[in-house]
Amino acid sequence: MPDLSWLFHLASLFPLEGMDMRFMQQALVALCLLAPMTAALGVQVIHYRMAFFSDAVGHSAFAGVAIGLVLGVHPHISMPVFGLAVGLCIMFLQRFSALPPDTVIGVVFSAVVASGLAVVSRDNTLARDLQQFLYGDILTLTETDICWLLALFAAFVLFQALAFNRLLYAGTSRVIAKAHRVPAALCEYLFAALLALVVMFSVWSVGVLLVTALLIVPGAAARSLARSAGGMFWWAIAVGLLSAVTGLALSVQPWMHTAAGATIILVACGCFLLSVIAASLRSEIR
């Protein structure tokens, strides 16, 4: 495993009470890796109208963990593998079935949630383990998780550098993209796989209930603030990072003492509100 102490040392310099503790340093590093990924992918999720897709993959975490626990596989392995399979399965069915895309997602969504509940209902002790996946806890991420997150971040940067323009093309019109020889299918499958993995990591930090918000809210704020698609990418990352760091800082204050995930989303929603006000002021000035 690579030595990440320099990264944690860097995090310890952040002017926040409690940053001398390793779990806080790990949480900050994890958020600084996760927030740009969710925010930037959120831009594409909005362009593709795939919010429901990320919700379905997020909810598959529940079944992934439950099945992993029953089979004796560590949840940190069973969950991303199951999520990846669900994401690719939805993408495949959307491309090759005559059903509308949201119906396909709805069916898969129901199937994965029901599978999770069915497994848990057989063994009540599992319910206790599953609770943290409902609410998430960024403070429980381990050093190994952060190594995986770093690898995922590298894949994300590579993907965004190579496929951003093509995804924009395919998201605008799949038929035009195909006629104009853009390899849309490959980009879409890779995007679905990357999104599924990022969603699974997000579930650990903010929980199943808030995972879609982590993707959508920074992108929605950026949509109001940006003047171009390229600008929207950077605005989303800025809002995502600001919300993550501010949310973490606020959540550990004695006068707040709230769950980090929920606080991050609340800050992001505050940013969204400000972006809407800024956009309406800008249009009034014009």
Partner 1 sequence: MEADNAPAIVFDHVSVTCGGLNILDEVCAVVPRGSWTVLIGPNGAGKTTLLLALLGEMPCRGRILVGGGRGLRLGYVPQKLAVDKGMPFTVTEFLSMGVQRRPLWLGVSRAARDQAAALLDMVHAPHLMKRRVGTLSGGEMQRVLLALALQQKPELLILDEPSAGVDLEGGRLFCELLEDLRQSQGFTQIMVSHDLGMAAHHATNVICLKRRVIAQGSPQEVLTVPVLQTLFGMHMGLICSENHVHHAGVQACAAETEETPHA
By CB under 8 A, name the binding residues for partner 1: 46-47, 160-162, 164-166, 168-169, 172-173, 175-176, 178-182, 223-224, 226-234
Neighbouring C-alpha atoms within 13 Å toward the C-beta of 216: 13
How many C-beta atoms lie closer than 10 Å to residue 57's C-beta? Answer: 35
Closest CB to partner 1 among residues 47, 107 = 47
**Shortest Cβ distance from residue 92 to partner 1 (Å)?**
17
Closest CB to partner 1 among residues 178, 242 = 178
The amino acid sitting at 121 is S
Closest CB to partner 1 among residues 67, 271 = 271
**Shortest Cβ distance from residue 166 to partner 1 (Å)?**
8
Token pair recorded at residue 206: 């903010």
The amino acid sitting at 143 is E
Closest CB to partner 1 among residues 52, 164 = 164
DSSP string, 57-96: HHHHHHHHHHHHHHHT--HHHHHHHHHHHHHHHHHHHHHH
**Shortest Cβ distance from residue 199 to partner 1 (Å)?**
21
**Shortest Cβ distance from residue 221 to partner 1 (Å)?**
12
Pick from 10, 11, 8, 39: which is nearest to 243 by CA? 39
Please state, in angstroms and rounded to a whole number, the distance separating the CA atoms of residues 59 and 31.
21
**Shortest Cβ distance from residue 103 to partner 1 (Å)?**
16
Closest CB to partner 1 among residues 1, 179 = 179
Token pair recorded at residue 24: 């806080």
